[in-house]
Amino acid sequence: MPLSDAETMLAPVRIGEVCERVVRFTREDIAAFARLSGDSNPLHQDLQAARRARRGDLIASGQQTTAQLMGLAASHFSRGVDGQARELLCLNFNFAFKAPVLAERELLLHWRVTSVEWNAALEGWLAHVDGSAAERHGQACVIGRGTLLVKTGVD
């Protein structure tokens, strides 16, 4: 059942709410993350291998980019800078990889809330979000969807 305007006003998340951050992965960042995460794909660590594969530069692993996207969502929706205490649980994320994320390029990380609903069983608000990691000229490299549980009044 759709929520009334009054009920929606109580939600700590709003339809249309957006959060964004710009990141840039250096070659060193990419190689270090690949080593730490156990990803031995040479395209993340060997510039010559990446050039032979016609990538032109090292590419970030998918998990490096999605970790940044999930971190942005977690940081934004658990914020308390507005004086409202929140608790956040990331319930689900799904990602699709559309293009490689190349080293030394700026990437705009973006999430937008598409729907909000109260869930009595979970005693919190479910926020459905759509997101992307895109290069400055608009090429989406990663797209994603997620479901977040946001609770208010948590000490």
> What whole-number distance in Å separates Cα of residue 138 and Cα of residue 107?
9
pLDDT tens, position by position, 91-144: 999 999 999 999 999 999 999 999 999 999 999 999 999 999 999 777 899 999
- Sorted by where each starts, the structural domains of the chain and their CATH numbers stand as 5-152 (3.10.129.10)
Q: What is the pLDDT of residues 36-52, one digit of tens each?
A: 999 999 999 999 998 88
Q: How far apart are CA 7 and CA 123, in angstroms?
A: 14
Residues with Cβ within 8 Å of 38's Cβ and at least 6 positions away in sequence, in order, are none
Q: How high is the pLDDT of residue 6?
A: 45
> Band of the pLDDT at 7, cuts 50, 70, 90?
low
Rounded Cα distance, 30 and 15, in Å: 34
For the whole prediction, is pTM greater than 0.75?
Answer: yes
